[in-house]
Chain A
């Protein structure tokens, strides 16, 4: 369009230049986005690549040679193994408890109008807007002054449940808001009591939301460093092991474990997405005339 305004004798050359320029202008944002995505992915590639490195010294910062040795011995460092097991155990407990009580909270907030609802919403938002270090430090102050429980697995569990709850509520709530309540009414018309309606209609339909929330809680817990750093006592989780090992050189096996965790999360997320699609199909199965 703009090329038509060019002086007549230079039309051919100008239009070629202009075409290139216009192409660049049109795609500039895509090219920029491409660089941004490379920026996001390169460190992940580096993590995976350096799990195959054969470093010269104890520091795994310079590429030396390709080897599979550290993948063969991935579970041979006993401290790393026990840290991983602690992390997984902690995340499992924290996820189950936080998902259960967070889901109840989400149901209360979406389904009921009651006095104190705004305060409850506020109570859920504030922990997500608080820097982790303040959360960790205040909880440590609390345990220090009370003198109980002793810092360790139990205080870690308390802390992890605490910071997971808000995220569970937010995820489950978004699923509940888009919920078609006529399905529940239909169940009740057919003679189901409140509990049966919940178990047989509501729960299966919000299950993908609960699963997504649980996955998020699990990921947050396994990955947490800051709050754990403050409240772990002598208990060592996977991130705390890495932090401790940083001074004396982090073993290459850590990169292999990080790669395994990465792939594991990918698979779990793929599974959740499939579940979500399935539930959407289930919810869509009803005569069109019933749609509002």
Chain B
């Protein structure tokens, strides 16, 4: 079974979730200062890994992320990235071996098994 490592770090207003496998590293970056709190991502997350934060308090001036991320539940599918209207979410994918370009092309890959 493929091993999956997860990690989370916070820098300024950026919450960065990382997922590492033998093949790739995915970084899901949530910049909560950009977030408008619309909660579209909460509604559509297929793993229910996103929850609404204290929206009323944030509206009154509290410095907190409007969306809370459950790192254990997140599978880095990227749906929040694709649907966020203010681009508060972004995702970077680093392919380890083989690189992404050759994987997306139709040339057959060397089997790793």
The finding on whether chains A and B are genuine partners in a shared complex, rather than unrelated, reads no
Residues of A within 8 A of B (CB): none
